[in-house]
């Protein structure tokens, strides 16, 4: 099969699978009072700034929303929470401002179109890198991700754009094409969700050579954007930093929406918290315990990863293995939800390279990658919440804790196993000279 025909077939299937998510997300948006709830949050945060109101002051964006829409229909409790507490950095409002200048109707459709376009293009480009090795395997894995991204399009969460921009930056850097655009993409993703793109940026910083230069350029652009945001927001909200810190702590209180503990309202399903803390908390619901254990485990693995990255000479194949190792750990180390885990698309090229080697390890690679993708996919997580929603598992005994852990919160363990596997591959088995490898001068 010639390459152009392979590209056309791959693009067709990816558009089709993305269409499934878009169609379902559109109907969820229309059918629910909470439709595009995450976008409404950042949209009315920007409206606050236009009206010279402090968006980080609790309930301020909610008052702006009610002033524009009235109390009928009354926003749900979930939407009230989103509109009451702003947890995004000021730089987010810089990017939302052009949308906030428009009425909500056209603004949220344009946001959805941008999310769809950026995310789908990024997934397709990463597939083109994996298709050099195993186009069918890579296509199935990435199509599954695209067909299970309803939550991004239904809620309007920034993850669709942030993850897409981060993947575009990786493709630009490793393909050495449109590098300036890649720098801007990485900078924007860092500015909106640094906990999503931070460890990807760190890899290029540690890789050295021209990649370190690109990472520093992205950081500089992020700093400029941050300065512009501060110039805008500081006169309006001079106490935004302690207010933001307070909002983040409020969301993580026991029973709060971002609480990783077992009493949180979102213990399973497409909105579940998937950080390692959410698993450890099943055994000991104490932030001092589950945070310390999570940081210790992830920190040790990241230290090994960083040390190995500094020691190795750069090659494209090693870069894909390094990214495959760090992406699951990036999702685990701190607060994330399944839509952030769409970054797992970056593990597909490494899986494809291992598949072409023809060794038994290729089956482990496929199983680990597929398990990570499936365990963070919207449809399987929806099925999980349907099957386990009525279960009331006592957790006083260790057996009950283990059962709840396996049945209701398997995702963090799967991601941890995936990260350890690819870290082992990166440290012990990554080869410098695989087809399409490029050496870059240091």
Quick: pLDDT tens for 20-57: 888 888 887 777 767 788 899 999 999 999 999 999 99
pLDDT-above-90 percentage for the chain: 55
What pLDDT was estimated at residue 435? 41
Question: Of residues 441 and 386, which shows the higher confidence score?
Answer: 386
Residues contacting 409, CB < 8 A, separation 6+: 267, 268, 272, 278, 279, 282
Half-sphere exposure of 140 (CA within 13 A, CB side): 9
Question: Of residues 33 and 76, which shows the higher confidence score?
Answer: 76
- Check if the beta carbon of residue 427 is closer than 8 Å to that of residue 194: no
Quick: pLDDT tens for 197-251: 999 999 999 998 999 999 999 999 999 999 999 999 999 999 999 999 898 888 7
Quick: pLDDT tens for 255-274: 667 777 766 645 555 667 88
H helix runs in 101-208, sequence order: 104-130, 135-147, 150-155, 159-175, 179-192, 194-207
Quick: pLDDT tens for 80-132: 888 888 889 999 999 999 999 999 889 999 999 999 999 999 999 999 999 88
Q: Which of 12-21, 25-34, 322-331 is predicted with the least confidence, judged by mean pLDDT?
A: 25-34
Distance CA(350)–CA(315), nearest Å, equals 13
- Check if the beta carbon of residue 322 is closer than 8 Å to that of residue 265: no
389 pLDDT tier (thresholds 50, 70, 90): low
DSSP symbols for 322-373: HHHHHHHHHHHHS---TTGGGGGGGGHHHHHHHHHT-STHHHHHHHHHHHHH
Q: Provide mean pLDDT across the span 178-191.
A: 96
For the chain, the structural domain boundaries read: 266-429
Phi first, then psi, for residue 275 (nearest 5°) are -70, 160
Q: Provide mean pLDDT across the span 349-359.
A: 89
159 pLDDT tier (thresholds 50, 70, 90): very high
- Sign, CA torsion 201/228/106/88: positive
Q: Round the average pLDDT of the chain to a whole number and report it.
A: 86
Q: Provide mean pLDDT across the span 9-28.
A: 86
Distance CA(31)–CA(25), nearest Å, equals 10
């Amino acid at each position: 099969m010639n390459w152009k025909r392979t590209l056309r077939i791959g693009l067709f299937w990816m558009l089709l699978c993305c269409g499934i998510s878009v169609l379902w997300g559109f109907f969820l948006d229309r059918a629910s009072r909470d439709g595009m709830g995450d976008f409404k949050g950042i949209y009315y945060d920007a409206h606050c700034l236009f009206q010279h109101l402090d968006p980080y002051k609790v309930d301020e964006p909610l008052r702006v929303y009610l002033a524009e829409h009235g109390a009928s229909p009354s926003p749900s409790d979930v939407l009230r929470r989103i509109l009451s507490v702003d947890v995004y950095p000021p730089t987010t409002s810089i990017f939302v401002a052009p949308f906030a200048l428009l009425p909500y109707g056209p603004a949220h459709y344009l946001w959805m179109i941008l999310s769809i376009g950026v995310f789908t293009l990024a997934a397709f480009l990463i597939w083109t890198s994996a298709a050099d090795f195993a186009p069918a395997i890579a296509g199935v894995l990435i199509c599954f991700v695209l067909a299970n991204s309803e939550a991004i399009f239904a809620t309007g969460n920034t993850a669709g754009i942030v993850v897409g921009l981060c993947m575009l930056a990786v493709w630009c850097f490793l393909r050495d094409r449109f590098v300036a655009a890649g720098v801007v993409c990485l900078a924007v993703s860092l500015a909106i969700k640094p906990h999503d793109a931070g460890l990807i940026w760190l890899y290029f910083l540690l890789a050295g050579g021209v990649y370190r230069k690109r990472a520093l350029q992205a950081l500089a652009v992020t700093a400029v954007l941050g300065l512009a945001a501060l110039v805008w927001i500081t006169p309006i909200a001079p106490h935004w930093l302690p207010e933001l810190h307070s909002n983040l702590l409020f969301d993580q209180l026991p029973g709060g929406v971002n609480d990783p503990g077992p009493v949180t309202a979102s213990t399973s399903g497409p909105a579940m918290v998937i950080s390692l803390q959410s698993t450890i908390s099943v055994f000991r619901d104490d932030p001092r315990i589950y945070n310390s254990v999570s940081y210790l485990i992830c920190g040790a693995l990241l230290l090994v990863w960083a040390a190995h990255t500094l020691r190795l000479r750069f090659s494209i194949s090693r870069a894909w293995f390094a990214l495959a190792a760090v992406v699951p750990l990036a999702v685990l180390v701190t607060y994330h939800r399944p839509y952030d885990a769409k970054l797992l698309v970056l593990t597909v090229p490494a899986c494809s390279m291992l598949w072409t080697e023809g060794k038994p390890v290729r089956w482990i690679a496929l199983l680990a990658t597929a398990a990570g993708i499936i365990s963070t996919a919207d449809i399987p997580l929806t099925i999980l919440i349907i099957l386990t929603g009525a279960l009331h598992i006592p957790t006083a005994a260790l057996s009950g804790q283990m059962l709840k852990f396996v049945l209701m919160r398997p995702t963090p363990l799967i991601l941890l196993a995936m990260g350890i596997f690819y870290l082992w591959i990166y440290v012990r088995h990554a080869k410098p000279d695989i087809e399409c490898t490029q050496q870059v001068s240091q």
